[in-house]
Each structure stands twice: as structure tokens, then as C-alpha cells.
Structure 1
Amino acid sequence: MNFDDKAKTWDSDPVKGERALAVATALRQRVPLAHDWHALEYGCGTGQLSFALQADLGRITLADSSPGMLAVLREKVIAAGLSHLHPLALDLTTDSPPAARYDLIYTLMTLHHVTDTRRLLHVFHDLLRPGGWLGIADLDQEDGSFHGPGFTGHMGFDRDALQAQLTEAGFDRVDFSTCFLMKKSTDQGERKYSLFLAVATRL
């Protein structure tokens, strides 16, 4: 998927906005967000989730590897006058991790695009302060119809397998819940896909 090409029309899809608001609500319910926290959204796209959470947090670093998405994001941040939102070009699969440490890291529909999820979870663990929180919202395991032929990422995740990876990476109090039911048009017609929110803490 070429995210640069999709960036300018990304926010015009009402389902994506609805999804971001649902995940933000689920995060608020399960994580004790604080106004002095420094958060990292990894794979932020146009920043829909962070915009939904910006009033609950302090500084937010919004990281993505797509120049097109980051360009749209920067325009939105300037237009909204939100000086505590900071876009960052970052690909943790190839770039060195930032020096900052975070109270919260969260992702939305990002992990299934990452080939080596085990390694990324270890990086997330290292980037969190002791006692910090991780929130991962992504697809439950599906049959491949969500992206269709040619997609090389994960066809969603088995919750037990991902929980094992999180525990192996050093996370504690791993907990899953269903946070959104997404309708999408596919080659087989309209389908529904469930999204989970996995929440965990670093000891």
C-alpha cells in the first residue's frame, strides 16, 4: 500500500474517523492518561488518533515513515494551533530509536504492516519509562480479505500469540478487549472485521 498516494484523501473516509474515536475512548477507559505524559504514536498517519487524545495528554510525538502522511499531519497541526503535537519522520524497522523515553506508546492499524513484530515490541519496551503503558489497536486474525491479494503483511493477529510476544518482550498486565467493528467493502462484498486493543505496562 502506498500511503503517500492516499494521504490527501485519508481523512475523507468517515470510517477511519469513527475508528480513531472508538480507539481513543477505549484507551481512556483502560489507561490512566495524564496531562504531564509524553506520548508517542507510532505509525500515526494523518494523526486522527492523537487528535482525539490530544486534550488528555501533554507532549505527543507523532511518528510515521510516510512523507505524504506527515505533510498532511503538519498542515493539520498548524491549522489547529496545537503546539504540543510534534510530527516526526521515523521508521523503527530501519532507523535508530529516538533518545526520548515515553510514558505511553500507542499504535492504530500499524502493527500488521510490520514484518518483525517481535523486534518492534522489544523496541517499544525500551522506549518506555518504567511504569509506562503500551496500547496496540489492530486487526484480529482474518482471512486475508481485508487487504486482498498481494498484501505481504500480517492477516491480523491471534490474540494469544501476540500476548506471548508482548510477555516475551518484557510487558506485564497484558489485556485484550474488542474496541471496534469495522465495515469494509471487499471483493466478496461488505465485510466486518473486529479490532482489538491490547494494553500492557512496562515494569
Structure 2
Amino acid sequence: MSIFDERASQWESKGRRVELARDVVNSIIKYAEPEKDIDIADFGTGTGLILLGLADYAKTMTGYDTSRGMIDVLNRKAEEAGLTNLTTEFLDIEKDTFPENAFDLLTCSMVLHHVDRPEDFFSKAYRSLRTGGKLCVADLELTDVPFHDVAHEGVKNEGFSENWLIETMKKYGFSSVKVVQGAVMEKERNGEKINFPVLLAIGTK
């Protein structure tokens, strides 16, 4: 059982996670300007905070995750809400292939810092989008002070720079690439509250 399976049932008990997802969703709506009635996929969907936040824009919603515990929570939420256009699938974004030419909007929030080779994700994501589709990736900005505690389980990257995101997305074919501050996370260190920016990178196929 992974750490995410263990935490799934209590994942949303931390208010900052819910607030972060809300802010990221609002930034996606503001800067990516999604159309209505589109097919949306969320990779590393967790309990579906991003995906469900975009439900008003979706014809279909697909949530992918490596944690069956998280998927179980999302499935329960969808059932309780009476959503019939949401499906979930177990998928490892590092090892598995993505459906090709399948989606109009693809989102991935606070996931890539857990991935060994995040650049591979952009290559797969590009192929998974339809022409004109958009990718929205939200993750920590690389700063001098790391967000995570030392040796935090599963953390492979402490964040990403704006330049790296732009260059990587362009490298794999995305156009109209832009990076904005999508949210801010506050964390206390040694009695001091520090704001950590979360970048939102947007690109079009």
C-alpha cells in the first residue's frame, strides 16, 4: 500500500489541499479559458479536486491515478453527486501509455515533483491531446527554500523553473506556451510562515 493509499480517506481533511485545488481550478479557467462540453482528463487525479472543479466544462471526465485508494474516494464522490460522465482508471504516468488523440483538456496538478523523468510526461500528454487541445500543469516553483521536509517520501523534484517549463513544453510540440502563478501555498518553517508559489503552465497542441 502506498502512502497515498494510506492517506486517501483523510486527504481532503487538510484545508490547504482543498484551497490549493480551488485556486488552481480558478487559474485554469481564467488563463486556459476552456470551452464547454469538452473531454477532460486529469493525471494524478487523487480525490478529484481538480477534475470535479472543472465539471461544468466537461462532456466527459477521466481521472487517472496510481493509487487505488484515491480512485475509490473519487468514485464514491462521483456516485454521491450523481455524476454519470466521470470514469476513473488506474494508470502510472511514468510506465504506462496514454490514450492518443483522446482529450480536449488535460490537467496535472502537484504530481510532476513525484516523477523521475517529468519531461516524458509532456511527450505523452502532447500525443494524448486532440489538435487544439490544451495542457495545464500546476506544480511548485523551484525556490531556494525547499517546500518539502528533508527526505520526504516520493519527492523526486523540489519544483520547476518557469524557463524549464516553457522550454520543455515547446520541445515536445506545444505552442502558445505561458506560465503564470496559479496559486500560493503557505507553510511554517521554524516558526516563520513562508509562501511557496505554484506555477501553472499552459500549452496548446
What interval of TM-score do these two structures reach, taking the shorter chain for normalisation?
Answer: over 0.9
CA–CA separation in structure 2 for the residues paired with 1:191 and 1:144: 9
TM-score (norm 1): 0.93
Shift of 1:143: 4.1
* DSSP-derived class of the 2:17 partner: helix
Residues 1:168 and 1:188: Cα distance change in structure 2 (over 3 Å)? farther
Which residue pairs with 2:202 in the alignment? 199
Structural mapping, 1:99-178, within 5 Å: 99=100, 101-143=102-144, 145-151=146-152, 152-178=155-181
Moved more, 179-188 or 121-130: 179-188
CA distance in 2, matches of 1:84, 1:61: 8
Shift of residue 51, structure 1, vs aligned partner: 1.3
Aligned residues: 202
CA distance in 1, matches of 2:191, 2:110: 22
RMSD over aligned Cα atoms: 1.7
Q: For residue 100 of structure 1, report the CA deviation from its aligned partner.
A: 5.8
Give the unaligned 5+ runs of structure 2.
Answer: none
Alpha-carbon separation, structure 2, partners of 1:3 and 1:147: 16
Contact conserved, 2:37 with 2:57, CA < 8 A, in 1? no
Q: CA deviation at 1:164?
A: 0.7
Q: Which amino acid aligns with 1:83?
A: T
Residue of structure 1 equivalent to 2:96: 95
Q: Following TM superposition, where does structure 1 have runs of at least 4 consecutive aligned residues deviating by more than 6 angstroms? A: none
Instruction: Tell me by how many angstroms 1:193 deviates.
Output: 0.6
For each residue in 1:135-187, what CA deviation from the matched residue of structure 2 results, as whole angstroms up to 9, or x when unmatched? 01110003463221114411110110121111101100110111211112446
Identity across the alignment (%): 29
> Residue 125 of structure 2 aligns to which amino acid in structure 1?
F
Take 2:13 and 2:52, find their aligned partners in 1: how far apart are those partners? 15
Question: Which residue type is aligned with residue 158 of structure 1?
Answer: S
